[in-house]
Structure 1
Amino acid sequence: MSSQQKALIYPARFAPFKVETFPKPSIGPDEVLIKIISSGLNPIDWEIQKYGIFFLEFPAILGEDAAGYIDEIGKNVTSFIKGDRVIAQGLFNQYGGAYAEYLAVPAELVAKIPESMSFNKAASIPLAIGTAACANGIGLTPPWTPGGEGKYKGQGILVLGGSATVGQSVIQLAKLSGFDPIVVTASPHNEQFVKSFGATHVIDRHSDVVPELQRGFPKGFKYIYDAIGISSTQRIAWSVLASEGSLAVVNPLEDWLVTEIEKDKTKEVVYVYGIMYVHRDLGRGLFAALGEYLEAGKIKPTEIEVLPNGLAGVADGLKKLEAQLVSGKKLVVRPSETP
């Protein structure tokens, strides 16, 4: 068996990506090796390259969404067998990322997928569901914990960016948690799409959102999840966040928002990013429950677009994400199709 693989290498800070032959990762006793069939693209990867964020050891392999087969099993692992169809997150550490043919990952951060679900679709799930789950950072009890499912029945939540992949996952977890209403912002053409995940009210994101939310929900929202995280959505969220309310944001907080938080300490605002290797206890519980959620259809994948040329197609795909040319779907590559 070859000890080499094709991988998309990020050789140095700000450097362009390159497809190279690279050592295949080895596994420890509590880990599994996944033969990746499909890898999902995420905006964080172009942000890492463009802005030089995160402390990485170079050369690095990025990519946070992997779907494939279990190829090797550590001696302590009893929850999987070789050939199981699974999903996992690529990680910014010694394990490497999903822009490769193989991924080594702790077995407790892996979930099985149904036979009926394609690997391409499954690759849309890992980072989005992990980032959505980080809403526990604003005090929400995850639905898979004792008493969590249905706990928030009758309480409202606002999701900014409902058609984004993270937004879709937030909606689904909110539905499992019993939230009602589940109010989201989205483009009108995505209204039925986000309602299919559990949204109850959809506000046109191109409209004057704040007055519309204030008219419909004059008390504001105790819980808000900003799945876009840019300055304009942070402003919307802050404007309709109720006193004693909590806001989760997927990007670092804008300076003006930090200033506002200092003025009003009754409101809680957190920046969330869902790498489950970092949020290990949360990730352990999430991935233990995720297989059953997927089998039951309680968590569903998003629409996908498969890019050509395998790993060699990632760079162009990330440019599309940076230019905001992707809406309501996940870009996916298949490493085996790399020239």
Structure 2
Amino acid sequence: MSGTNMNALVLDPATRIVTLETISLPSPGPFELLVRAEAISLNPIDPLYVQHPLATTKRTIGSDFAGTVVSLGNAVPKSTSISIGDRVSGFLQGACSVNERPGAFSEYLVIPWDLVWKIPESVSIEQAAGVSLVALTAAQSIFYRLGLRTPFEYDEETALAEHPEWANNRKGTHAEPINVFIYGSSTAVGLFAAQMIRVSAKVTGQKFRLFGAASKARWEMLKAEPYGYEHLVDYRDDGWAERVVELTGSERMHYAYDCISEGSSVEKVSSLLAGGGKAAIVRSRAGGAWTAGHLPVEPIYGAVWEGLGEEVEYQGFTIPRSPAARDFAVQFYRWLSSAVGSAIKPVPIRLMPGGLEKVVQDGFHLLGSGKMEDRDVTRAEEWMRPVSAEKLVYKL
């Protein structure tokens, strides 16, 4: 940074090229914070919307960040616990929409004051950078959509007014134990989802049995704390769904969460459900990311961007502004400020060499264009090994 300018990774959607550019330093609005970004974390959506731009104008890309508060807007409530110099983490939308909003891959950024969480002293800035988007994605599915009990209060009444079809998720109780299946257990979202289920179990005192699909190389980790899987199957095995049925017998799954939602996974995951069971997914049917035949239930989809509280044009449809989803994100991040490092553990990170200038040539190369089969793992450098059960993080 120099004076009133800073470095940022900027997408030209016409050429699908991202370059490191010098742009103007942003100024916080009345209810915003100016944050000096010190670490960023990559998500598959970051390179996806470089290769397949939704944006039509040049803008800063990227989602996850962690950094230090530099200044507060003049209308930020005096009662907030956030002060200049605090370490905070959050995420922005970047180029993942046609909306004119910049992303997080820059030296400085602005964000609403209540859509960040304070980083506890026991958590490093690099660990914190890998939490915000994927943890909220998991929490939205496990708590907000599927209806498992939360360790914090939020405006559930407004959420059900917006989505009355979710009411059945909140009704009744299951005979213990409650069976939950997670496909993509070793993804970052899956790692947080397992922890959310464990947290819900502590809140309710109910017993949960956690089943998952992941590479055998990650089974030992997934069976240990803080995840606690009881049974795992290898997602590479064509008969993994049948194996899960064998493990559960006639009980089947009360809840299922597909953290990949590609190809036949949604159909297979849905086939595991017991009568009245519920499933959540991370990719939409409307966006064309998955297809399935006759499912026992329609999987529940919702974009993490709802938590930002703005209307979003995304994957060919419009996601309306949701006050309830924003309130959930605010309350969840407030809880994270004390929970990360204790009740919730950050996922493992891979600290990548270099800074912003290396994101595209290394990080995006590793993640491919968004789908698992598109990832290129042919380079020989140690830090370019295949990504599994970790987040790629760059220090700025």
2: distance between equivalents of 1:177 and 1:165?
A: 19
1: distance between equivalents of 2:177 and 2:114?
A: 33
How big is the shift at 1:182? 1.6
Task: Report the AA paired with residue 8 of structure 1.
Answer: L
- 2:358 matches 1:313: yes
Moved more, 215-224 or 105-114: 215-224
SS in 2 for 1:300: coil
Task: Report the AA paired with residue 29 of structure 1.
Answer: P
How big is the shift at 1:51? 2.4
1: distance between equivalents of 2:329 and 2:47?
A: 25
Report if the CA contact (8 A) 2:283-2:290 is conserved. no
Q: Counterpart in 1 of 2:219?
A: 191
1: distance between equivalents of 2:367 and 2:264?
A: 18
How big is the shift at 1:46? 1.7
Q: TM-score when scaled to structure 2?
A: 0.76
- 2:81 matches 1:82: no
Which of residues 171, 178, 182 in structure 2 aligns to 1:159?
Answer: 182
Q: Counterpart in 2 of 1:73?
A: 72
Q: Describe the shift of the 1:165–1:13 C-alpha distance in structure 2 as closer, same or farther (beyond 3 A).
A: farther
The number of equivalent residue pairs is 325
Report if the CA contact (8 A) 1:111-1:288 is conserved. yes
Q: Counterpart in 1 of 2:196?
A: 173
How big is the shift at 1:95? 4.9
Q: Describe the shift of the 1:154–1:75 C-alpha distance in structure 2 as closer, same or farther (beyond 3 A).
A: farther
Q: Describe the shift of the 1:255–1:97 C-alpha distance in structure 2 as closer, same or farther (beyond 3 A).
A: closer
2: distance between equivalents of 1:332 and 1:199?
A: 26
Q: Counterpart in 2 of 1:298?
A: 343
1:42-53 to structure 2, matched below 5 A, reads 42-52=43-53
2: distance between equivalents of 1:117 and 1:221?
A: 35
2: distance between equivalents of 1:103 and 1:117?
A: 21
- 2:115 matches 1:103: no
What are the ranges of 5 or more consecutive residues in structure 2 without an aligned counterpart?
157-172, 202-206, 310-324, 369-373, 376-385
1:199-218 to structure 2, matched below 5 A, reads 199-201=228-230, 202-207=232-237, 208-218=239-249
Task: Report the AA paired with residue 182 of structure 2.
Answer: V
How big is the shift at 1:86? 1.1
How big is the shift at 1:141? 4.2
Report if the CA contact (8 A) 2:284-2:290 is conserved. no
2: distance between equivalents of 1:189 and 1:139?
A: 31
1:175-203 Cα offsets, whole Å, 9 max, x none, are: 11116112121212212322323232222
Which of residues 99, 123, 140 in structure 2 aligns to 1:117?
Answer: 123
2: distance between equivalents of 1:188 and 1:217?
A: 19
Task: Report the AA paired with residue 8 of structure 2.
Answer: A
- 2:272 matches 1:272: no
SS in 1 for 2:353: coil
Report if the CA contact (8 A) 2:130-2:347 is conserved. yes
Q: Counterpart in 1 of 2:137?
A: 131
Moved more, 191-200 or 304-313: 191-200
2: distance between equivalents of 1:31 and 1:255?
A: 37
Report if the CA contact (8 A) 2:263-2:291 is conserved. no
Report if the CA contact (8 A) 2:70-2:85 is conserved. yes
How big is the shift at 1:331? 0.6
How big is the shift at 1:230? 1.2
Q: Describe the shift of the 1:157–1:47 C-alpha distance in structure 2 as closer, same or farther (beyond 3 A).
A: same
Report if the CA contact (8 A) 2:5-2:25 is conserved. yes
Q: Counterpart in 1 of 2:274?
A: 242
Q: TM-score when scaled to structure 1?
A: 0.88
Structure 1's consecutive aligned runs of 4 or more residues displaced over 4 angstroms after TM superposition are none
Moved more, 317-326 or 164-173: 317-326
How big is the shift at 1:101? 0.7
Report if the CA contact (8 A) 1:163-1:193 is conserved. no
Alpha carbon RMSD of aligned pairs, Å?
A: 2.3
1:219-270 Cα offsets, whole Å, 9 max, x none, are: 321211111121132232022122322211112235642x424xx4xx2312
2: distance between equivalents of 1:15 and 1:302?
A: 30
